[in-house]
């Protein structure tokens, strides 16, 4: 094909000329539109020629004169875009664009990226500009804005309401805003099946403050319309207080999108849910909220709503009055507490629902770490609802009745719970005094939790409960090993009629067995919940006992208890608090804690000592802070020096004829440690989920048959053996991998606390990797756990030295004694500084006759101007003394080293802010002192 250059040049010239003519025509029409009473035809012509969107026409024609206070639909496109940009402001360095997934056909949004040749390390995304808004309004793209800016501020709050009755939710929210004088604009969503409720701010405000307004608005709206879902708390824009690291925050679809407008959607609507005729005039009339007004609105709403605590019990709820209830409330007890809704106001029903709800700690933990909270519920609710009844978990029965009676409401209770079948059983054991007290307290209630440390004898106490109640009972467990233990204990401590065999009286479901007797049965929770369906057998018992009930908050396990309808439900656990903070679900399903022992007091009662041996691991330069946690774990398990340290301690214990348990979190680590130990020891056993049930049963049989005076070593994962494993010979625990949760520590250490003849002391060896902040923080949390369990410190074989674990309330005098006894030098590492602690400690340090060096974190690392300047002033004050002060980055250790020998190490800043739960351990070790001095 021949390229005809002349032809194309001529065409280009023609198009250029035509373009100039059209521009002149557009300009002329715009001038006419601004200065005269133009018709809708002119507006249409301008829109068509300029590519700007047409407004939806209504039957009633408006006056074409522009409002004196702002813009209307006849305004110039540039003015409209300017107005639009002033309202829907967010991040300027990025925006989102809607797309249709090529494989699924489903729509989604993704940040728009720059062409690859324009990208840099600091600039990947296309910016949010007036041109993007123009293309969005034209229908050439569907854009979304990221509300939260890089400094955690925003220019608007939006609440997304959807669902079948979204319009009723909007009415409730409008009523609240009208009552409190809050200007709110409502936009029908692009789908037409929901709405965005917008509140605009005059200036940027902190996202956390805007979200407080959103939360209080939703809470107040729930009192007007109790059907408003708790999930509304998750549909705020912005959806968290801070920008997640490496993320942009959530996005909201921009309004007035052309294709959606054609269907009457993506438009702002009036109180009758009709599109406002002149969208631009409406937008120009929107009243923005000042920061001062915002603060006032929040306070007024809080005053009306009442405070809601973030605590797991959530005792404080919206205020309630007797007029919110009828004179008589009917309650039916079954698998849940059924409350008849007739005559109860929306405010009353909302209050009852809040009793079954709690703020999700996981959401706030993620937010505090600047991680995404996507698909993490902010509020977790455990209520259900029918057209006639509100259903609350059984554990709230007493609270609900107490509340109603306090309001002088007559309560009629109908009990449809399974009362159970009588079983003639007799308890053949003898309870210890604390076990008897626990049983007595449980017997006073239909529900309740026995919280006892390991070796308390919770299983035996629960078996006594069965004998006291004499009703058919289902015991729920989550491990086959626990099912086996329960059956053994039942056989040991219960006596039933001679005419009944053990097989006909005690059954099991799960673990390869299906032998339910409907008398006393032990069932695995996993076997009761299959493919989303709960086994109907759970409804056949008068009593359910949930062992290790802290697991019940898992959805499938909770579902089992929600379907069961026994009169009595009791839970057993050593650690009611969960790492994810979901323990309120445990209380709602099993009842409140009726008895809780004190781990420290229990330790004092045991006939053996409890010793913590801390091994500070050597620094490995190859392990970097920037690695993610899983990579750090991989580095640790492959660290030969660290593994050798663990093995040497185990071998030393074997020489003392001790029985050792090594817990790690990786199968690979088990293999490494096993290989190293088998070079020196014969009796090394492995228990892990990956080697199969048959192999683990063989190992268990070998352990049971093992000679009592020959030491052994068990290597396992915490997940497999951390709870429910019972071998009373164990007296030494080696924690080969770091973790932080106190509950897990209690479970692991509990393996040692069983009574056994000849056991005089138990030891926990903790390998503290304090060279990296994330791992050091984990150790600090474990240290608190040891203190709460009554463990005493031993380190570097300094048997005759004064080793101890102190708390914030009792360390000061002991530390001061050591400081006054210093002869050569003192090194203080205190990342933070506070006026209070400096006033308390400074004179003591200045008066010492030794050299005193203070290390603290540099003020330059502090983001807040106020706090940074405060830190600088404190450093200046220190430098005016005779003390040597050094401020630098990456100071995170908290310790005092005296004469390169005595170490005070822990989570307490001696010169800075102090937590009431801080810990300090005192160690005498020149070797460790030298290593810690090198850290700073």
Contact between 318 and 351 under an 8 Å Cβ cutoff? The reply is yes
Question: Does residue 321 surpass a pLDDT of 60?
Answer: yes
Instruction: Give the CB-side neighbour count of residue 383, counting CA atoms within 13 A.
Output: 27
What is the pLDDT confidence band of residue 320, given thresholds at 50, 70 and 90?
Answer: confident
Stronger pLDDT, 689 or 384, i.e. the higher one: 384
CA pair distance 376, 48, nearest whole angstrom: 45
pLDDT value of residue 692 = 85
Helices and strands per DSSP (H, E), number in the chain: 31, 41
Check residue 596 and give its pLDDT.
Answer: 94
Distance CA 119, CA 142 (A): 22
- The string over 217-255, giving b where at least 16 C-beta atoms fall within 10 Å of a residue's C-beta and e elsewhere, is bbbbbbbbbbebbbebbbbbbbbbbbbbeeebbbbbbbb
Q: Tell me how far apart the alpha carbons of residues 833 and 283 are, in angstroms, rounded to a whole number.
A: 50
Q: What is the CA radius of gyration of the chain?
A: 34
Summarize the confidence of residues 92-101 as an average pLDDT. Answer: 95
Between 773 and 175, residue with greater pLDDT: 175
Whole-angstrom Cα distance, residue 564 to residue 393? 11
Among 856, 815, 816, 812, residue whose Cα is nearest residue 833: 856
Cis peptide before 238 (omega within 30 of 0): yes
Q: What is the pLDDT of residue 428?
A: 96
Contact 327, 409 (CB under 8 A): yes
Mean pLDDT calculated for residue range 611-625: 78
Query: What is the reported pLDDT for 290?
Result: 98
* HSE, side-chain direction, 13 A CA sphere, residue 589: 28
pLDDT at 715: 97
Distance separating alpha carbons of residues 138 and 140, to the nearest angstrom: 6
Q: Looking at residue 65, what is its pLDDT? A: 33
pLDDT of residue 630: 86
Q: Is a pLDDT exceeding 60 seen at residue 146?
A: yes
> How far is 198 from 191, CA to CA, in rounded Å?
17
**Under a CB-based contact definition with an 8 Å cutoff, are residues 596 and 458 in contact?**
no
Which pLDDT band holds residue 1 (cuts at 50, 70, 90)? very low
pLDDT tens, position by position, 429-483? 999 999 999 999 999 999 999 999 888 999 999 999 999 999 999 999 999 989 9
Give the per-residue pLDDT at 256. 98
Q: What is the pLDDT of residues 849-872, one digit of tens each?
A: 999 999 999 998 777 778 888 999
CA trace torsion 394, 398, 400, 403 (10° rounding): -170
pLDDT in tens, 338-362: 999 999 999 999 999 999 999 998 8
Do the two domains 426-597 and 607-794 of this chain adopt the same fold?
yes
Return the pLDDT at 293. Answer: 98
Q: How far apart are CA 393 and CA 508, in angstroms?
A: 27
CA distances from residue 853 to 145, 813, 883, 888, 892 in whole angstroms, order as listed = 51, 21, 6, 13, 16
Q: What is the pLDDT of residue 24?
A: 62
Confidence of residue 779 (pLDDT cuts 50, 70, 90): very high
pLDDT confidence bin for 658, thresholds 50/70/90: very high
Q: How far is Cα 37 from Cα 931, in angstroms, rounded to an integer?
A: 85
Backbone angles phi, psi at 550, to 5 degrees: -65, -15
- Where does 804-935 sit in CATH, by number? 3.30.870.10
pLDDT at residue 501 is higher than 90: no
- Among the residue ranges 8-22, 455-469, 568-582, the one predicted with the least confidence is 8-22
Least confident of 56-65, 218-227, 318-327, 585-594: 56-65
| Burial zone of 896 (CB within 10 Å; 0-12 exposed, 13-18 middle, 19+ buried) | buried
Backbone angles phi, psi at 873, to 5 degrees: -65, -40
Mean pLDDT of all residues in the chain?
A: 89
pLDDT reported for residue 724:
66
Distance CA 404, CA 160 (A): 34
pLDDT at 178: 97
CB 651 within 8 A of CB 680: yes
- 28-49 as b/e: b if 16+ CB within 10 A: ebbeebeeeebeeebbebbbee
The Cα–Cα gap between 757 and 769 comes to: 35
**pLDDT for 253 beyond 80:** yes
Domain ranges within the chain, ordered by starting residue:
135-305, 322-415, 426-597, 607-794, 804-935
End-to-end CA distance of the chain: 76
Q: Is 56 helix (H, G, I), strand (E, B) or coil?
A: coil
According to CATH, the topology of domain 322-415 is: Translation Initiation Factor Eif1 (3.30.780)
* Sheet of 884-888, strand order: 804-807, 919-924, 902-906, 895-898, 825-829, 851-857, 884-888
Nearest to 144 by CA among 90, 67, 63: 90
Specify the pLDDT at position 150.
92
Give me the CATH code for the 426-597 domain, please.
3.40.50.300
Query: Which contiguous run of DSSP H or E holds residue 641?
Result: helix 640-655
Distance in angstroms (rounded) separating the CA atoms of residues 774 and 537: 47
Task: Identify the top-confidence range among 164-168, 709-713, 756-760.
Answer: 164-168
User: 611: Cβ–Cβ under 8 A, 6 or more apart, which residues?
Assistant: 761, 762, 763, 764, 791, 792, 793, 794
Provide φ and ψ at 894, rounded to 5°. Answer: -120, 110
Q: By mean pLDDT, which of 66-80, 363-377, 487-501 is the weakest? A: 66-80
Prediction pTM value: 0.75
Select from 157, 144, 254, 236 the least CA-distant residue to 202: 157
Q: In the block, which residue shows the tokens 């020149």?
A: 926
| SS3 at position 456 | coil
Distance between CA 668 and CA 201 in Å, rounded? 55
CA atoms within 13 A on the CB side of 277: 9
pLDDT tens per residue, range 28-62:
555 555 444 333 433 443 343 344 443 333 333 33
Collapsing DSSP to helix, strand or coil, 303 comes out as helix
**Cβ-based burial of 812 (10 A; exposed 0-12, middle 13-18, buried ≥19):** middle
**CATH code given to domain 607-794:** 3.40.50.300
Residue indicated by tokens 């620094």: 619
Q: Would you state the pLDDT for residue 118?
A: 87
Q: Does the pLDDT value for residue 929 go beyond 50?
A: yes
Task: Please name the helix (run of DSSP H) or strand (run of DSSP E) that holds residue 749, with its range, or none.
Answer: helix 742-749
What is the enclosing helix (H) or strand (E) of 390? strand 389-392
Mean pLDDT of 892-907: 93
Q: What's residue 246's pLDDT?
A: 84
Query: How many whole angstroms separate alpha carbon 300 and alpha carbon 315?
Result: 21
Q: What mean pLDDT do residues 766-782 have?
A: 90
pLDDT at 35: 43
Which of 250, 257, 182, 255 minimizes the C-alpha distance to 220? 182
Cross-strand pairs, 506:
520
- Which pLDDT score, from 0 to 100, does residue 308 have? 65
DSSP state at residue 823: S
In this prediction, residues 178-194 reach a mean pLDDT of 97
Q: What mean pLDDT is predicted for residues 294-305?
A: 95
Which tokens is 99 given? 């797309």
Q: Which residues pair with 237 in a beta bridge?
A: 158
Higher pLDDT: 699 or 62? It is 699
Q: What gap in Å lies between CA 198 and CA 224, rounded to an integer?
A: 19
> How much of the chain exceeds pLDDT 70, in percent?
89
- Going by their DSSP bridges, the two strands 851-857 and 825-829 should be labelled as parallel
Using DSSP, state whether 665 is helix, strand or coil: coil
Architecture of domain 135-305: Alpha-Beta Complex (3.90)
- pLDDT tens-digit readout, 590-609: 999 999 998 888 888 889 99
Q: For residues 525 and 551, is the Cβ–Cβ distance under 8 A? A: yes
């Amino acid at each position: 094909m021949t390229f005809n250059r002349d032809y194309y040049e001529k065409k280009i010239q023609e198009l250029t000329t035509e373009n100039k003519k059209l521009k002149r025509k557009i300009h002329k029409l715009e001038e006419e539109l601004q200065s005269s009473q133009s018709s809708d035809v002119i507006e249409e012509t301008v829109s068509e020629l300029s590519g700007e969107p047409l407004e939806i026409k209504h039957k009633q024609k408006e006056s074409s004169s522009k409002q004196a206070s702002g813009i209307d639909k006849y305004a110039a496109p540039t003015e409209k875009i300017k107005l639009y940009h002033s309202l829907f402001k967010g991040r300027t360095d990025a925006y989102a664009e809607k797309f249709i997934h090529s494989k699924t056909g489903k729509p989604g949004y993704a940040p728009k990226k720059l062409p690859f040749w324009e990208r840099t390390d600091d600039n990947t995304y296309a910016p949010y500009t007036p041109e993007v808004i123009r293309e969005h309004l034209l229908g050439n793209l569907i854009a979304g804005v990221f509300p939260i800016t890089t400094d955690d501020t925003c220019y608007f709050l939006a609440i997304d309401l959807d669902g079948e009755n979204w319009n009723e939710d909007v009415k409730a929210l409008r009523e609240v805003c009208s009552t409190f004088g809050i200007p709110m604009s409502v936009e029908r969503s692009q789908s037409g099946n929901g709405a965005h409720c917008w509140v605009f701010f005059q200036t940027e405000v902190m996202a956390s403050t805007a979200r407080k307004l959103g939360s209080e608005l939703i809470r107040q709206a729930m009192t007007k319309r109790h059907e408003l879902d708790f999930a509304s708390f998750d549909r705020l824009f912005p959806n968290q207080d801070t920008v997640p690291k490496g993320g942009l925050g959530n996005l909201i679809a921009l309004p007035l999108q052309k294709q959606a407008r054609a269907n009457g959607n993506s438009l702002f609507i009036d109180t009758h849910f009709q599109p406002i005729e002149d969208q631009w005039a409406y937008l120009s009339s929107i009243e923005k909220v000042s920061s001062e007004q915002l603060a006032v609105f929040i306070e007024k709403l809080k005053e009306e709503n009442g405070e809601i605590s973030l605590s797991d019990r959530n005792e404080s709820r919206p205020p309630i009055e007797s007029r919110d209830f009828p004179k008589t409330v009917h309650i039916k007890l079954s698998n849940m507490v059924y409350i008849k809704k007739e005559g109860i106001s929306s405010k009353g029903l909302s209050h009852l629902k809040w009793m079954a709800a709690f703020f999700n700690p996981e959401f706030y933990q993620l937010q505090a770490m600047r991680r995404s909270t996507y698909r993490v519920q902010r509020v977790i609710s455990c209520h259900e609802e029918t057209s006639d009844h509100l259903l609350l978990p059984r554990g709230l029965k007493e609270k609900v009745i107490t509340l109603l009676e306090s309001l002088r409401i007559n309560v009629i209770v109908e009990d449809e719970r399974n009362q159970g079948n009588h079983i003639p059983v007799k308890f053949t054991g003898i309870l210890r005094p604390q076990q008897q007290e626990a049983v007595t307290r449980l017997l006073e209630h239909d529900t309740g939790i026995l919280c006892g440390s390991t070796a308390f004898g919770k299983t035996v106490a629960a078996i006594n409960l069965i004998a006291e109640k004499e009703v058919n009972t289902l015991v729920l467990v989550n491990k086959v090993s626990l099912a086996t233990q329960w059956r053994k204990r039942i056989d040991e401590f219960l006596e039933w009629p001679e005419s009944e065999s053990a097989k006909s009286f005690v059954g099991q479901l799960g673990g390869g067995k299906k032998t339910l007797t409907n008398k006393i049965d032990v069932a695995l929770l996993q076997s009761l919940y299959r493919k989303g369906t709960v086994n109907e057998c759970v409804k056949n018992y008068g009593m359910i006992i949930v062992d290790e009930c802290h697991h019940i908050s898992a959805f499938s396990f909770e579902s089992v208890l929600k379907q069961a309808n026994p009169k009595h439900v009791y839970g057993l656990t050593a650690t009611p608090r969960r790492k994810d903070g979901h323990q309120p679900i445990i209380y709602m399903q099993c009842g409140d804690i009726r008895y809780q022992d004190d781990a420290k007091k229990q330790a004092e009662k045991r006939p053996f000592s409890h010793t913590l041996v801390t091994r500070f691991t050597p620094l490995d330069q190859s392990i970097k802070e920037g690695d993610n946690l899983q990579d750090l774990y991989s580095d640790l398990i492959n660290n030969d020096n660290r593994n050798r340290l663990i093995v040497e301690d185990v071998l030393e214990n074997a020489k003392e004829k001790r029985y050792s348990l090594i817990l790690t979190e990786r199968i690979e680590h088990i293999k490494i440690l096993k290989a190293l130990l088998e070079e020196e020891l014969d009796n090394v056993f492995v228990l892990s989920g990956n080697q199969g049930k048959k192999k683990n049963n063989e190992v268990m049989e070998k352990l049971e048959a093992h000679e009592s005076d020959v030491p052994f070593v068990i290597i396992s994962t915490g997940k497999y053996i951390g709870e429910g494993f019972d071998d009373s010979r164990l007296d030494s625990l080696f924690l080969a991998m770091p973790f932080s949760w106190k509950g897990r520590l209690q479970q692991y250490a509990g393996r040692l606390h069983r009574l056994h003849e000849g056991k005089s002391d138990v030891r926990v060896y903790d390998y503290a990797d304090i060279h990296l902040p994330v791992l050091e923080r984990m150790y600090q949390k474990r240290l608190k756990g040891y203190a709460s369990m009554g463990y005493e410190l031993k380190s570097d074989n300094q048997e005759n030295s004064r080793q101890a674990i102190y708390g914030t309330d009792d360390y000061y005098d002991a530390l001061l004694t050591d400081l006054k006894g210093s002869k050569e030098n003192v090194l203080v590492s205190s990342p933070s500084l506070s006026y209070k602690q400096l006033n308390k400690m400074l004179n003591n340090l200045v008066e010492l006759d030794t050299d005193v060096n203070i290390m603290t974190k540099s003020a330059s690392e502090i983001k807040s101007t106020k706090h940074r300047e405060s830190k600088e002033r404190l450093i200046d004050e220190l430098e005016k003394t005779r003390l040597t002060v050094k401020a630098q980055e990456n100071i995170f250790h908290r310790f005092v080293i005296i004469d390169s020998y005595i170490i005070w190490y822990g989570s307490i800043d001696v010169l800075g802010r102090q937590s009431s739960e801080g810990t300090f351990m005192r160690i005498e070790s020149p070797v460790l002192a030298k290593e810690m001095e090198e850290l700073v």
